[in-house]
Structure 1
C-alpha cells in the first residue's frame, strides 16, 4: 500500500476522503474547495481505494498548496475500511469525513472544528449535504436532494432532533478518540456504514450537533441504473445492521417509518405485490417521473420516484428478512 506525504505538520483537524475512480474534474473540484477554507490548521488525508488511475501524482501537481496526504490501497478494500485507514494515519483530535464529489463552503472546516471543540466531550457534528445552487439535476438525483433537504429544514427549524440516523459520510465530524473507542466503521458493510457507526457513537454517549451553515454541495453524477439498485441494497444492509447490532432497533424503526408513509404508497405496495405488477409499476413510474421532470412538473415527478423507491425497497426488505443470515450477507456483498 503506497503512502505519499505531501505535508508534515501538526493539525487540529484532518479531512478524510475515500476515493475510487472518481472523474478527475470532480475530485479536483472537491480539493479546490478545501483549498479555500477559512480555517488554517487542518490537513487532508485522501485514500485512493485501488482505483484504476492512481491519484497521487495528479493531486501533487494540481494542489501544491493544499496539505494533502495521499495513501493508496493497491486493491480495493471498500469505503469503510478506506476511511478507517485514513483515520489511523491521522494525529489530529478531530476528523471530518466528506465524499470525493462534495464541494465544501469556505467555512465548513471552521464550523465543524468549532462545534466539536465547543462540545467539550463526546460529540458528533453534522452539516447539510445540499444540491448545488442553480443546477437542475436529473430527476432521480433531484429526488435524493429533495428528501435530504426537507430533513435538514426540519432540523434547522427544531422540528427534528439531530441523531445517529443523520450520520452521513458526505459531511460528518467526529472526535478521533470517540471514533477509535467504538472501533471505527464496520468494514462488513458496504452501505449505511455511516449510520451504523452513528448508532455505536450514540451508545457511548456522543451528543449530535447540527450546524445548518456547515454546508457541502453534492454534485452527484449517479446514473439512473445505479440509482435504481440503491433501494434494494439499502434494504439488505438494513437487515444486516439489525443482525450485527440488534439493540439498534433498525428494522422496527424502518417498519414504523413505512407505516407512516403516504396512503397511496401503502396502497401501491398491496396492488403491486406480484412481481410482474411491481416491474410494470416501477418502469411506468420512472418514465412518467422523467417526463414530468422535463416539463418542470417537479412535485408529481418527485412523487413518481418516491413510488419507485418504496416498491423496490419494500420488495427487497421482504426478501431479505425471509432469507437466512448467511444468504442475506452473501447477497448484500
Structure 2
C-alpha cells in the first residue's frame, strides 16, 4: 500500500472512493465532478483495490484546498476493507462514500455536510443514486434504476421513512466517530455490507436523513451476466448477514418482502420450482425483456426482468438456507458498486 499524497489536510469532510479496474473515463468523470464542488473544505481519498493498472498516474492535478490522496493495495481486499482503509486515513469529522462510477452535481458535498453539521444528534445522510438523465440504459440496469427511483420518490414524498435499509455506499455520509464506534464495514461481506453497516449505525442510535437534492448519477456498466449473478449473491449475503447479526432479523424482513410481491411473481415461483422450468423461464424472460425494451415497451420489459431477479434470488435463497457454506468476498469478482 502506498500513499500518493501526504496526510494531515485540514478538511471538514473526506470523500472515500474504492476503485478497482474501473474504465479510466468513468473514474475521471467521477473525480472531475468532485473538483467542481461548491463546498471548499473537503478532500478525496481514493483506494485502488489491487487493480491491474495503478490509478495514481491517472488522477491528475489536485487543488491545494481539495486534495486527492491515493493508496494502492497490492492485491484486492474487497470493497468493505478498502473503504475502511480510506476512513482510517481521514482526520475529518465527516466521511462521504460514493462509487467510482458516480458523477455528482456541484452541491453534493455541501448538502451532505449541512445535513451532518446541523444535526443535533448522530445522523446518517442519504441521497439518491439516479440514472444519468436522457440516457437509454440496457434493460437490466434500467430495472435497477427504476426500482431505486420509485423508492426515492416515496422517500421524497414522505410516503416512506429512511432507515438503515436505504444505506448504499454509492451516496452515503456519516460522522467519522459514529463509523468508528460501530467498527466500520464488516470485511467478510462483499455485498450488502453497506446495509449491514446501516443496521449497526441504527443500533448505535443514529437516525437517517434523506435529501432528494443530494444526488449522484450512476453510470453503470454492469453486464447482463454480472446482473444475474448479483441476484444470487445478494441472497447468499442476506443469509450471511442474518447469521452474523441475528438481531437485524434480515431474513424475516426479506421473506416478508417476498410475500408482498405481485401475485404473478409468487405464482411463477411455484410453477418454476423444478430447476429445468426455472432455467427456461429465466432465459425466456430475459429474451422477452430485451425485445420489449428494444421496442420501447418499457413497463412489460421491466416486468420481465422483475421475474428474472425474483427467480434467481429465491433460488439462491433456498440453496443458502439449506446449508450452503457462507460466502466470502472472493465469491464476487465485480468491482465495488452501490445498489
Same fold (TM over 0.5): yes
Question: 2: distance between equivalents of 1:211 and 1:105?
Answer: 14
Distance in 2 separating the partners of 1:138 and 1:7: 41
Distance 1:98 1:10 in 2: 21
Q: 1:6 Cα deviation (Å)?
A: 6.4
Q: Over residues 125-145 of structure 1, what are the superposed CA-to-partner deviations in whole Å (9 max), with x where a residue is unaligned?
A: 000000000000000000000
Alignment deviations for residues 194-226 of structure 1 (CA, whole Å, 9 cap, x no partner): 000000000010010000000100000001110
Alignment partners' CA distance in 1, 2:34 and 2:6: 15
Q: Is contact 2:189-2:328 (8 Å) kept?
A: no
1:60, distance to aligned residue in structure 2 (A): 3.1
Matched with 1:163 is: 163
Relative to structure 1, the CA distance from residue 100 to residue 332 in structure 2 (aligned partners, 3 Å threshold; closer, same or farther) is closer
What's the C-alpha RMSD, in Å, of the aligned pairs? Answer: 1.3
Q: Deviations over 1:167-212 (max 9, x none)?
A: 0000000000000000000000010100000000000100100000
Give matches, 1:1-333, under 5 Å.
1-5=1-5, 9-61=9-61, 63=62, 66-323=66-323, 327-329=325-327, 333=331
Q: CA deviation at 1:67?
A: 1.5
Displacement of 1:7 after TM fit? 7.4
Q: Could you tell me how far apart the structure 2 residues matched to 1:64 and 1:274 are?
A: 59
For normalisation by structure 1, the TM-score amounts to: 0.97
CA distance in structure 2 between the aligned counterparts of 1:72 and 1:34, rounded to whole angstroms: 20
Query: Any stretches of 5+ residues in structure 1 without a counterpart?
Result: none
Deviation at 1:105, TM superposition (A): 1.0
Higher relative contact order (CA 8 A, sep 6+): 2
Shift of 1:328: 2.7
Q: Contact 1:7 / 1:67 at 8 angstroms: preserved in 2?
A: no
Any idea what SS the aligned residue of 1:60 has? coil
Contact kept? 1:6, 1:60, Cα under 8 Å: no
Dislocated runs of 4+, deviation >4 Å: 63-66
Q: Deviations along 1:16-72, whole A, 9 cap, x unmatched? A: 0000000000000000000110100000000000111001111135x5665100011
- Please say if residues 236 and 332 of structure 1, whose CA atoms lie closer than 8 Å, have aligned partners that are also in contact: no
2:172 and 2:329 mapped to 1: Cα distance? 28
Say how many residue pairs are matched.
Answer: 330
Task: Tell me the CA shift for residue 120 of structure 1.
Answer: 2.6
TM-score (norm 2): 0.95
CA contact (8 A) 2:125 2:209 kept: yes
